[in-house]
Amino acid sequence: MKRLLPSTSTRLALVVMGLFLAAFVLIGGGVYLAVSTLLLQDARELVRADAVTLVDTWHEGGHAALLAELQSRLRDDGDPDAVYALVAADGVALIGRMPDARRPGVRGRWVEFAEQAPEEGQTERVVAYMQVLGDGEWLLTGQRLQAQDRLLELMQRAALLSLLVAASLGALVGWLTSRWVARRLRALDATVAGVGGGELGLRVPLDHSGDAFDLMAHRFNAMLDRIEELLAGVRHATDHIAHDLRTPLTRLRNRLEGVRHDVHDPVAQHKLERALAETDQLLQAFGALLRLAKIEAQPLDDAVGVLALRELVADAVEMYAPIAAERGIRILARLQDASMRGDRDQLFQMVVNLLDNALKYAPAGSEVDVALVPAEAGVALTVADSGPGIPASERVRVFDRFQRLETHRGSPGVGLGLSLVQAIVRHHGGRVELQDNAPGLRVWVMLPLP
């Protein structure tokens, strides 16, 4: 399943922003809860002190004094947020009203309720203390929490505004973090791309900060040093073997050729011709190995120019047309104008190898289709035949050196043709795939635009 956010930098930015917002919400929520709790405690302390004063008044002057004190407070309106109620023992409200009919305990109880605010359709929270006086009367002393509620509402608005600011800052911090990580990894990515393109001498630049990225770059460079050392050893050994064996093989071939001219026995001449063919095949293999090693070891020269692929492919088709005619095979070329930056000799060798493979396995009387079509991603070259093809499970393995299918063991060749094609395509920054032509094989090559 494809990820909705495939970019690691994007996911990192979102994680940083999410953690930033989560920390802000936790801290903000804790502060809001602490402030609301503190305001409620302050209101209860105020109500408790007011209730103690009223009870003292009742103790000193009795019912009449308490009733007069409550009426005086309500009339003078000294504290507009104060709420009072007094209910007789028989349940008749003398002043104000009780929030419910449940009788408070001996020690009293705290209640919170909402009452109608002066503004229409709005209510106000009230925190109050209900207690029973000695003569059975109920006394309620309360405090409206409108000031506290306004403060909490202001805090909520400020929190929402701060949340927007925090989200913006979190996004900015996440973006900067992802950019910093991407910048630190960009040098590694560029080095990997260059090494994959054949520039084995490239190394990741170090900033000597000693952090994880610098340590990774140091170890990566050490790995590249070791790989370059091993490849250089293999390349030198291959070159030495190829050079050292090609010279005596060439001498051997010349001597066999001379002996073949001197021998008049048909049987002996036939044996010598077979020996010469095998010698030529060995020389061809050594030559292909040397070309392959050279292509893989050296990056594309910056001095190479832009060449016309149509003319190059047309020259290769023209060269193989007589060979195809001898085998009763028709080469159908559909070539459009296309150009790219590359080495002409290597690209010509690539097309020649593809045509050679197609003609080698195409049956007589069939067609080999060669197409060159410009595309958005580059230039697409396809060579298709109607031969036996290659099984899907073997299409990756045949690009390895000296790999040949069991059914093709008896045919001419050493198993380096497709290896050389893949090396040339990769050398030019392209890609190659083997596809089913139903029947036959279709080789698809995508080369980059200049």
Q: Where are the domains of the chain?
A: 8-152, 212-297, 306-447
428: nearest Cα among 197, 85, 249, 261:
197
Please compute the mean of the pLDDT values over residues 385-398 and round it to a whole number: 82
Q: 1 pLDDT band (50/70/90 cuts)?
A: very low
Q: What is the model's pLDDT at position 404?
A: 62
Task: Please tell me which of 79-83, 182-186, 272-276, 381-385 the model is most confident about, judged by mean pLDDT.
Answer: 381-385
3-state SS assignment for residue 105: coil
Contacts of 49-55 with C-beta under 8 Å, sequence gap 24+, read 50/82, 50/141, 50/143, 51/108, 51/129, 51/131, 51/139, 51/141, 54/84, 54/139, 54/141, 55/131, 55/133, 55/139
Q: 2 pLDDT band (50/70/90 cuts)?
A: very low
139, 51 Cβ separation under 8 angstroms: yes
Query: Strand pairing partners for 64?
Result: none
Q: 256 pLDDT band (50/70/90 cuts)?
A: confident
In CATH terms, is domain 212-297 a member of 1.10.287.130? Answer: yes
Q: What is the DSSP string of 247-303?
A: HHHHHHHHHHHHHHHH---HHHHHHHHHHHHHHHHHHHHHHHHHHHHHHHHSPPPTT
Distance between CA atoms of residues 192 and 198, nearest Å? 10
DSSP letter at 393? G
Q: 103 pLDDT band (50/70/90 cuts)?
A: low
Indicate the burial class of 347 (C-beta count within 10 angstroms; 0-12, 13-18, 19 or more): buried
Pairwise pLDDT comparison (84 vs 108), residue with the higher score: 84
Distance between CA atoms of residues 283 and 262, nearest Å? 23
Mean pLDDT of the chain: 80
Phi, then psi, of 84 in degrees rounded to 5? -135, 150
Please compute the mean of the pLDDT values over residues 112-120 and round it to a whole number: 76
pLDDT at residue 45 above 70?
yes
Distance between CA atoms of residues 403 and 424, nearest Å? 18
Please compute the mean of the pLDDT values over residues 76-101 and round it to a whole number: 79
Burial 128-162 (b: 16+ CB within 10 A, else e): bbbbbbeeebbbbbbbbbeebeeeeeebeeebeee
pLDDT at residue 369 above 90?
yes
Q: Determine the CATH number of domain 306-447.
A: 3.30.565.10
State the sign of the Cα–Cα–Cα–Cα dihedral 102, 107, 111, 115. Answer: positive
- What's the full length of the chain, in residues? 450
Task: Please tell me which of 10-14, 286-290, 368-372 the model is most confident about, judged by mean pLDDT.
Answer: 368-372
Q: Determine the CATH number of domain 8-152.
A: 3.30.450.20
> Prior bond to 439 cis, omega within 30?
yes
3-state SS assignment for residue 144: strand
169: nearest Cα among 18, 376, 323, 375:
18
pLDDT at residue 408 above 60?
no
- Strands 367-374 and 330-335, bridge-based pairing: parallel
pLDDT at residue 62 above 50?
yes
Tens digit of each residue's pLDDT (9 = 90 or more) over 272-331: 778 877 777 777 776 776 777 777 666 666 667 788 889 999 999 999 999 889 989 999
Amino acid, res. 75: R
75: nearest Cα among 104, 95, 100, 60:
95
Distance between CA atoms of residues 61 and 435, nearest Å? 108
12, 174 Cβ separation under 8 angstroms: yes
